[in-house]
Structure 1
Amino acid sequence: MDNIQQIAARYRSQVEEAQQELNRVQQRIYRIGTLRVVLFVACVAGLIYFWDESWSVLCAIAVVTMLPFLLLIKRHNRLFARKDYLEKKVEVNQQELAALDYDTSAFDGGNEYTDPTHLYTFDLDVFGQRSLFQYINRTCTQPGKVRLASWLNKHLENREEIVRRQEAVRELAAEPVFRQRFRILGLLYKGKKADENELRAWAESPSIFRKRRVLRLLPALVTGVNALCLLAVVFGLLSGTVWGVVWMAFVVGSFAFTGKVTKIQSVYGKKLQILGTYANLLKLMDKQDVQAPLLKSIKEEIGGEQRKASQSIRQLSKLMNELDQRNNMFMYAVLNGCFFWELRQIMRIEAWKEQHAAELPRWLNAIGEMDALCSLGTFAYNHPGYVYPAFTDKPFCFRGTALGHPLMHRDRCVRNDIDIAKRPFFIIITGANMAGKSTYLRTIGINYLLACIGAPVFARELQLYPARLVTSLRTSDSLNDNESYFFAELKRLKLIIDKLQAGEELFIILDEILKGTNSMDKQKGSLALIRQFMTLQANGIIATHDLLLGTLADAYPDDIRNFCFEADIKDNELSFSYRLRPGVAQNMNACFLMKKMGIAMTE
């Protein structure tokens, strides 16, 4: 297995190689651009110089200069596409290098998913700036981003489903070339937030033109009439003027459909540009050989070997691009007058929709699933020291060694253990301010969440039973709802009790119960709450400053265990080990710190 230094070296190598090729491509673009200018000038100069010569000479000059010119345009466009790809490749690898050093500012933090009322995401900083989502997120499509956010918002609770996703993540972690190419292709045109919904809406909308049989026959009729007129003119049976009048009548008649076609094109034309990107991603997925059952099922969703989604979507993208020719007024008049081309083209698009509309949402889901899995695969690849947890069917279990917080620097993170092997069981953690209680709770919560979405965790080893995670670490008041801090906390605790009474299996993490009331109320209420948790066969961790809660271990010797984070005072200096220790905390630091800061302590 590679270490961090080897992974960083690989990213740097990718940057250097891509930059070198980019320099070569830019030089070719410059040379071809210069040659095109030379050919164009030569064509103009040759035509001017030989203007008095025969038409055959002028045509020869035009062919000799303009044919290479047109071929070079095609080559130029390909080079520009390659240039865009290489620039994005340099950017992507530079972002990964920064991410290895915990700079994830280049990635989307999913601020729109921040929800203070969520069961755990707000407490654990799952969304927002410097969040877990921003740390993991490498999605390159809107469906992928939505899928990854939904996994974090509602983690899996079924052991088999988690293991299936783990297998897919393991396989993708070992495919850095595929993952990176997938991300680059997706980022070349990432699209907008509304694209997926609007594509689905378009796929579900009824056909406007093909539902009328007369309109389906009209383009063939116009084409046939024009063909007959042409033959009649050739054989002298009809004058060209009459055919011109007929042709112009067709052009004018085509205006009857222009308004509706323009509306469809304006609403969906730009949205469907994303289909070119999706076609490239689907083609890449088609070519990738996969072994994990989940990855195989995704490939089945996009057609497998029988009917490839990439070909179908590329066909639609081509039809939409061809429709754009109507924006050229000359082409618009010629094509509509001869073939009713605009109507024919929009009905070809409707025919595609009738054939594939039911499959399009499935293809979008497959792209989103692969995109989100690639994010987890990159996360696993970038963290070679992480492990995939094992899962047990026995409720409840959460046993791990050397757990650390993924957002804390790997070289400075103090790692601790956890051991919950039965139901009911609670760990009560006491300790001084700043000693590490809250960080430990978030470390436990984040690793539990990572495990339940199929990702590796920051631990030496971990085994768990996947129950629903619920936290109360950062309850806030709400001025808009006229809700006090204390009442908000009570609502969260009531929600937990209701879920337990309904038979739901929960893993509960609480920080300082009932901190919005006086100490006597807080003590009495906290003791009653924990006793109720025991009655309801619950599992979890509670951090508190109230040392009296430590006495509950005497009443429940098999079901409650005390641990603490101590503040060590030596030679009139305060230090923290951030190490979890058995027992109830003995040292508190508030008075010590107040004295150190010159705040008088009176008896």
Structure 2
Amino acid sequence: MEEIYNYYKENIEAYTKQVSGLQKKIHLIGSIRLALALGAIVTLWLLWGHNWLFILSILFLYAVPFAILMLYHNKLFNRKTYAESLIQLNTDELKGLDYDFSAFDGAEDKSSGEHDFSLDLDLFGQRSLFQSINRTVTLFGRELLANWFMNPLTDKDSILKRQEAVKELAPQSLLRQHFYVTGIQQKGSKSDLNMLASLTNEETIFANSFLWKVFIWIIPALWILIIIGCAFNLVSYSVPGIYLIICLFVAYFRGKQVNDLYNSVDKMNKILSVYSELMKSIEGDQFQSAELVSISNELSFGKKTASQAIKQLSLYIGGLDQRFSFAGIILNLFYLRDTRHAILLEKWKLEHADDVPRWINALAHFDALCSLGNFSFNHPDYIYPDIADTYFCMEGKALGHPLLNRNVCVKNDIDIKRSPWFLIITGANMAGKSTYLRTIGVNYLLACVGAPAYAKSLVVYPAKMVTSLRTSDSLVSNESYFFAELKRLKMIIDRLQQGEKLFIILDEILKGTNSIDKQKGSIALIKQLVSYKACGIIATHDLVLGTLENEFPEQIKNYRFEADIKDDELSFSYQLREGIAENMNACFLMKKMGITI
């Protein structure tokens, strides 16, 4: 990990020096521009009263370098902003290595108790797994990455293909950081979905109109003839005024339709410019893995690329943006500028209506993969799990939880080689049962997403995972805690009856009822799960459930987390051991707190 820390620190140092150098250049350019402006004013004052053509020529000599320096100043300022964004990103990544992910989006809106496992595994929200991984910069990428975690892959070949893409992106930190910093300039909003949908609207008014195509050439041609005629006294000077009125009528006859067309794409100009730059960074033959090659190919067609097409669209929108300026109105009257841009925009929409969704999907795909590549880069000690062919297998050595500090995280193994098979985990309060369940669930999810897992070795079969660790009651739905849990368990049984192959993780079955009911119900449920040839892990305080291993020695295995009491002190090793728990700590803790037993 020291190498990763040093990488980000060195980046921060390098980009800080770059910003300092750019700041000095910007200050120098600003000083020169000020000197030019003052020089122009002094020159104008000294030459006042001389020939105006001579004065304008001298001022032009000031204006040209001033304009060039202004463009150079803007370029330097953009480079400075880019470098500052890289400093911030690398600073945030350093914080992330120390488990502070607050700079990144945790997609709290995606959290749902109805989902198979997202709430139980702290998948979304603050200090969540998603927040630790998410580096998406587009709304579409964020949605896709969240969907990958909520609906992990269940096909071996698909997982292996994604692993290859993540492996290829992991070392390409310059590309990933460029992509992030470019995209973060304009993250967009949910309204972009509707605006981009308008690009696929094929309704046309101007592009397929023969009359308007004739008008855009006849109007300027007649202006040229009229001006020539007036110059040679062949045309009355009243004609230009009459023709101007005619042009005004023609130019704004379809003004409402031009405005509607413009309004449908107006606010997209900035975001499209950013999308164009993002697409440009991933176009070409620079990738090797099948998934990344496919993404790159989606952004190319013929001799043009998606970034070029999007850039062209941005220019068309920018052209319409100037239609109400003084110059825009004059140009519209003399050669129907608005209509020309409307025709170009509609032609673009007709040509690329089917391409836009494909381009956006490719961009989202790359955006999501960059997050997984960054996660892999930040955790060089993580491994890419092997994917088993038959249900069920989950064998792993030294599994840890990615959100627990690496310096104190206790790692444990898991061994499920066939179906049906259940691990019954017994143990005292605070001994580590729930953390173990979440560790297994999170690493299983990472494996099925195609990301590296926190383990020394890991083999999994990508079945659908269902958990019940954090069931709660609901005042809104008028549901008790117990009924909510029963609904969850019924959902699992129903899916097993339908033939689904599940990986099940349960914590303290039937917590909401009395001990006798709980014991009978838990035993009955486990027997039913075994009868459906299911696999999973069940944690419990009820030591009686440990006796099921005697009845099902080929389907159930007991493990425990012990609370060790020595010299009137309680300690936890958090290490998984075989067998049924021997020590419980409730009475001990009550006595320590002064509660009479």
TM-score range, shorter chain: over 0.9
**Partner Cα separation in structure 1 for residue 517 and residue 523 of structure 2:** 10
State the identity as a percent: 48
Q: Within the alignment, does 1:192 sit opposite 2:202 as a pair? A: no
Deviation at 1:152, TM superposition (A): 0.5
Q: Which moved more, 1:52-61 or 1:15-24?
A: 52-61
379, 392, 412: which one pairs with 1:416?
Answer: 412
Deviation at 1:362, TM superposition (A): 0.5
Deviation at 1:29, TM superposition (A): 1.5
Amino acid in structure 1 at the alignment position of 2:253: A
Q: Within the alignment, does 1:487 sit opposite 2:483 as a pair? A: yes
Matching residue of 1:145: 142
SS in 2 for 1:400: strand
**Partner Cα separation in structure 2 for residue 403 and residue 306 of structure 1:** 50
Q: Which moved more, 1:278-287 or 1:191-200?
A: 191-200
Amino acid in structure 1 at the alignment position of 2:148: W
Q: Is the 8 A contact 1:405 1:413 kept in 2?
A: yes
Q: Which moved more, 1:333-342 or 1:285-294?
A: 285-294
CA 1:202–1:120: 2 relative to 1, 3 Å: same
Written as runs of structure 1 = structure 2, the 5 A alignment for 1:442-481 is 442-481=438-477
Matching residue of 1:172: 169
Count of matched residue pairs: 597
69, 72, 81: which one pairs with 1:72?
Answer: 69
333, 353, 358: which one pairs with 1:357?
Answer: 353
In the TM superposition, what whole-angstrom CA distance separates every residue of 1:265-307 from its partner, at most 9, and x where no partner exists?
Answer: 3442112321111111111101461000110011111116743
Written as runs of structure 1 = structure 2, the 5 A alignment for 1:350-389 is 350-389=346-385
**Partner Cα separation in structure 2 for residue 242 and residue 234 of structure 1:** 13
Deviation at 1:51, TM superposition (A): 2.2
96, 103, 114: which one pairs with 1:106?
Answer: 103
SS in 1 for 2:281: helix
Q: Is the 8 A contact 1:222 1:338 kept in 2?
A: yes
**What TM-score, normalized by structure 1, do the two folds share?**
0.96
Amino acid in structure 1 at the alignment position of 2:333: G
SS in 1 for 2:300: coil
Written as runs of structure 1 = structure 2, the 5 A alignment for 1:574-585 is 574-585=570-581
**Partner Cα separation in structure 2 for residue 112 and residue 231 of structure 1:** 67
**Partner Cα separation in structure 2 for residue 205 and residue 118 of structure 1:** 38
Written as runs of structure 1 = structure 2, the 5 A alignment for 1:436-585 is 436-585=432-581
Deviation at 1:228, TM superposition (A): 2.4
CA 1:156–1:585: 2 relative to 1, 3 Å: same
Q: Is the 8 A contact 1:85 1:188 kept in 2?
A: no
Q: Which moved more, 1:372-381 or 1:244-253?
A: 244-253
240, 245, 251: which one pairs with 2:242?
Answer: 245
Deviation at 1:208, TM superposition (A): 3.9
Q: Which moved more, 1:571-580 or 1:345-354?
A: 345-354
**Partner Cα separation in structure 1 for residue 186 and residue 418 of structure 2:** 50
**Partner Cα separation in structure 2 for residue 576 and residue 106 of structure 1:** 34
Q: Which runs of 4+ in 1 moved over 6 A?
A: none
Deviation at 1:73, TM superposition (A): 1.7
Deviation at 1:248, TM superposition (A): 4.1
Q: Is the 8 A contact 1:405 1:446 kept in 2?
A: yes
In the TM superposition, what whole-angstrom CA distance separates every residue of 1:352-409 from its partner, at most 9, and x where no partner exists?
Answer: 0110111011110111100110100000000010000001102110000000000001
273, 294, 300: which one pairs with 1:297?
Answer: 294
Amino acid in structure 1 at the alignment position of 2:507: D
Q: Which moved more, 1:449-458 or 1:76-85?
A: 76-85
Q: Which runs of 5+ in 2 are unaligned?
A: none
Q: Is the 8 A contact 1:472 1:511 kept in 2?
A: yes
Matching residue of 1:33: 30
**Partner Cα separation in structure 2 for residue 90 and residue 249 of structure 1:** 58
Amino acid in structure 2 at the alignment position of 1:57: F
Matching residue of 2:57: 60
Amino acid in structure 1 at the alignment position of 2:164: E
In the TM superposition, what whole-angstrom CA distance separates every residue of 1:467-492 from its partner, at most 9, and x where no partner exists?
Answer: 00110111112221112111111111
Q: Is the 8 A contact 2:202 2:350 kept in 1?
A: no
In the TM superposition, what whole-angstrom CA distance separates every residue of 1:200-222 from its partner, at most 9, and x where no partner exists?
Answer: 23323523433444334332232
Q: Which runs of 5+ in 1 are unaligned?
A: none
Q: Is the 8 A contact 1:302 1:308 kept in 2?
A: yes
Q: Which moved more, 1:531-540 or 1:224-233?
A: 224-233
CA 1:427–1:201: 2 relative to 1, 3 Å: farther
